[in-house]
Amino acid sequence: MSSRRTTAIAGSLVAASFSAVLILSGTAGADDPEPGSSQGGKPVDAAPGGVKLTTLLPRKISVDNKSQETAITATVKNEGTKDSGKIRLLVVGFDGLTVKNVQGCSPIEEKNLPEGSNSAFVCSIDNLAAGRSKAYTVDATFDLGKTGKICLPVQTADGKKTFWQQGPVPFGTTNPSPNAPATPLLLGTDNKPVAPGGDELAETGARQDVLPLGAAGAALVAAGAAGLWWSQRRRPHGQEG
Q: What is the pLDDT of residues 176-208, one digit of tens each?
A: 677 789 999 999 999 865 434 444 443 333 333
How much is the pLDDT for 139? 98
Q: What is the mean pLDDT of residues 79-84?
A: 98
How much is the pLDDT for 167? 95
How much is the pLDDT for 171? 96
How much is the pLDDT for 148? 96
- Cβ pair 78, 129 in contact under 8 A: yes
Domain extent for 13: 1-32
Same domain, 2 and 63: no
Q: Is the pLDDT of residue 57 over 80?
A: yes
Same domain, 136 and 198: yes
Neighbours of 202 (CB within 10 A): 23
Same domain, 99 and 177: yes
Q: Is the pTM of this model over 0.75?
A: no
Minimal CA–CA distance to 60: which of 135, 203, 141, 171?
A: 171
* Torsion, CA 135, CA 211, CA 167, CA 134, rounded to 10: 10
85 Ramachandran zone, left/alpha/beta (phi>0; psi -120 to 50): left
How much is the pLDDT for 175? 67
Q: What is the largest CA-CA distance in the chain?
A: 95
Q: Using alpha carbons only, what angle is made at residue 130 by residues 128 and 134, rounded to the nearest 5 degrees?
A: 40
Residue 63 lies in a domain: yes
How much is the pLDDT for 194? 40
Same domain, 59 and 128: yes
Same domain, 182 and 194: yes
Same domain, 40 and 13: no
Q: Calculate what percentage of the chain has a pLDDT beyond 90.
A: 59
How much is the pLDDT for 1? 53
Residue 61 lies in a domain: yes
If one compares 14 and 22, the residue with the highest pLDDT of the two is 14
Question: To the nearest whole number, what is the mean pLDDT of the chain?
Answer: 76
Provide the number of structural domains found in the chain.
2
How much is the pLDDT for 173? 84
Helix (H) or strand (E) holding 225: helix 215-226
Query: For residue 76, what is the domain's CATH number?
Result: 2.60.40.10
pLDDT band at 38 (very low <50, low <70, confident <90, very high): very high
Residue 239 lies in a domain: no
Q: Report the range of poorest mean pLDDT among 47-51, 62-66, 84-88, 170-174.
A: 170-174
Q: Is the pLDDT of residue 221 over 70?
A: no
How much is the pLDDT for 42? 97
